[in-house]
Amino acid sequence: MRILLYRGDGVIEPWVRDFSDALPHADIVVWHENMSLASQSPCDYAVVWAPTPRLLDQLAHVKAILLMGAGVDALLKFGDALPPVPIVRLGDAGMAEQMAEYVAYATLRYFRRFDDYEQQARQGIWNPLETRRRKADFTVGVLGLGRLGMPVLRTMRQLGFPVRGWSRSERDLPGVACYAGMASLDDFLSGTQVLVCMLPLTPETTNLLDRARLSQLPQGAYLINVARGAQVAEPDLMALIRSGHIAGATLDVFRNEPLPAPHPFWNEPRITITPHISALTLRAEAVHQIAAKIGKLERGETIDDIVDRTLGY
């Protein structure tokens, strides 16, 4: 069995070592941009992250493409150029807990007004502030109720915040006010004080959070984006923050990454920037999961996390 490995960030050697340990009988082939496999035996599987167009030429004979992360947009953007084989995203692999921690921290930071205390500290101001509002009035709304969104809802509910969730299809979750479909999105937003975006990036979700949608949030609401930067119309968000309609935003993802140095977000104190670290891929867990899926595929067994190309996730 031959397995092609590729990572767009070039950090490949630790993955080679771990896959060699997990699949000792496999031939691990590391692909690079100027390499052709035409004269070699075909690879059975491709395990990739952030692929390039040239890589697609090497995938014509693979049985499946397995991703080293939960996001699939970097691969699906190639559309019909992809071979007609299963695309398998990474399941949880330790990312759900990280995501819940990130959202809990950002929410508590706003609820306890630590963002204001940070600004005061920079100015040398000692001034205890009144509590912003009761926890019962600080509703957390999660856009996207998938494998990562559900643990976030559970964590925020355990912390005592009212929670609501929105998805494209109907859901019935204990303790969660559920909304479904585009017709209910404005109602969902209008009662959300902390909006958490966890949607997959698809044509339907690109620029979903524009001025019109974000204006449906209550005055003084907050945005936490841990999904994809292209889902937020960045100039619209900046305008709403400067107007005071949105009190602050914690952003882990951006339309262009790394975020360019001249970008106005860097100089807006009400925007907190992190470098796409809300849920990092844990290599040991990811390798274990991917190796197990390859084993099941070789035995003709069914696996989870196969991407629906028509839905985009």
Which of 7, 89, 109, 228 is catalytic? The answer is 228
Catalytic: 228? yes
Whether 276 is a known active-site residue: answer: yes
In angstroms and rounded to an integer, the radius of gyration of the C-alpha atoms of the chain is 21
- Ramachandran quadrant class, 233 (left: phi over 0; alpha: psi -120 to 50; beta: rest): beta
Which of 113, 276, 288, 309 is catalytic? The answer is: 276
Which of the residues are catalytic? 228, 276
